[in-house]
Amino acid sequence: MKAWLNQHRRALAVTIGQAARAPFARLFQVLVIGVAILLPLLLHLAVQNLQRLGGATQADARIALYLAPEATGRDADLIAARLKAHPQVAGHRFVSREEALKDLRRIHDIADLVDALPKNPLPDAFIVRAKSTDPGAIDALRREAAQWPMVALAQVDSAWAARLDAGLRLARTLTAGLAALLACALLAIALNTIGLQVVNRREEIEVCRLIGATHGFIRRPFLYAGTLQGAAGGLIGCALAALCVAWVNRQMPGLAALYGTEFVVLPLGLPDVLAVTGFAALVGWLGAWMAVSRHLWRGGPA
């Protein structure tokens, strides 16, 4: 066990020493990996934050039930009782026509026009909040409520939710496709960079083979190099994504204020950073293994 640990310690020391002798070359290689990782990371962040924004907006989605002009207070009480007992209704609020008229005068600043009306044209209404945020469930509740007595109209803007959900599904598919292309790109980068290192150290490898070194012993420094290179590229990709998020958040308040809301783009969480780093390290290890094995197989068994 001690000998095995010493071999790994020596391989790691050799890898770090080689990187220290050519820091700029290693830095550029790692930057290439980081930039390759950045694009799918940004798409993943966009999907994540849009899903969060869509979920928050869906949670605030309301169904408006407009009562018929001839509806009485008793009719409103009956509808309120049905809403209170309905299993799909999380809450409701009654808005009288007088309250609606006051809100219209205050919000739209058309007091003079409202005062000129011969009578209040607005109906009594209920604002209903559904328990489910699923667009289909919300629309089903709207259709059911529209059939109730004295309900003249039931409205909900659920089409946007369906469009958002379809767009998010497409974006997730694109993210998966880009991740697959990224894996191929990282593998090609690792094959190329580690392959060049193998060629540059060909004589050293041949001497090791002549004195009886196993393939595992020869591969070990290159595997460490590929793994560390991939992990460092993954970390740089995450750091670049964090810088992009910070820049977007500096621009976000002005845009959010135009819509009367507050929204902050969330960066990658620690599990995401660990997953990206581990994935890049694994691909780097695989590329290094393939590059070294190709050279060793050409030379015959050890």
Query: Which helix (H) or strand (E) covers residue 152, if one does?
Result: strand 151-155
Architecture of domain 62-156: 2-Layer Sandwich (3.30)
**Spatial CB neighbours of 191, under 8 Å, sequence gap ≥ 6:** 287, 290, 291
Instruction: Flag whether pLDDT at 120 surpasses 80.
Output: no
pLDDT at 13: 58
Instruction: Flag whether pLDDT at 269 surpasses 60.
Output: yes
Instruction: Flag whether pLDDT at 25 surpasses 80.
Output: no
Please give the average per-residue pLDDT across 61-67, as a whole number.
83
More confident position, 268 or 53: 268
Q: How many CB atoms lie under 10 A from the CB of residue 226?
A: 31
Domain ranges of the chain: 2-57+162-298, 62-156
Six-digit token pair at 270? 């620690």
Please give the average per-residue pLDDT across 3-8, as a whole number.
52
Residue 86, phi then psi, degrees to nearest 5: -75, 130
Q: Assess contact for 150 and 75: CB atoms under 8 A.
A: yes
Provide the percentage of residues in the chain whose pLDDT is more than 90: 5
* Residue 213 vs residues 1, 208, 216, 294, 299: alpha-carbon distances, Å: 18, 5, 8, 17, 13
Distance CA 31, CA 26 (A): 9
Instruction: Flag whether pLDDT at 235 surpasses 70.
Output: yes
Please give the average per-residue pLDDT across 275-281, as a whole number.
89
Please give the average per-residue pLDDT across 225-252, as a whole number.
86
Please give the average per-residue pLDDT across 19-45, as a whole number.
76
Q: Assess contact for 182 and 36: CB atoms under 8 A.
A: yes
Full DSSP string of 242-276: HHHHHHHHHHHHHHHHHTT---------HHHHHHH
Give the tens place of pLDDT for each residue, 141-163: 888 989 999 888 888 765 666 66
Full DSSP string of 52-83: HHHHHHHHT--EEEEEPTT--HHHHHHHHHHH
Instruction: Flag whether pLDDT at 302 surpasses 60.
Output: no
Please give the average per-residue pLDDT across 10-21, as a whole number.
58
pLDDT at 61: 61
What is the value of pTM for the model shown?
Answer: 0.58
Please give the average per-residue pLDDT across 70-86, as a whole number.
89
Distance CA 248, CA 251 (A): 5
pLDDT band at 274 (very low <50, low <70, confident <90, very high): very high
144: three-class secondary structure by DSSP: helix
Smallest CA-to-CA distance from 44 within 271, 282, 286 is with 271
CB environment 202-214: b (16+ within 10 A), e (fewer): eeebeebbeeeee
Query: Which helix (H) or strand (E) covers residue 134, if one does?
Result: none
Of the listed ranges 31-40, 147-156, 208-217, 237-246, the least confidently predicted one is 208-217
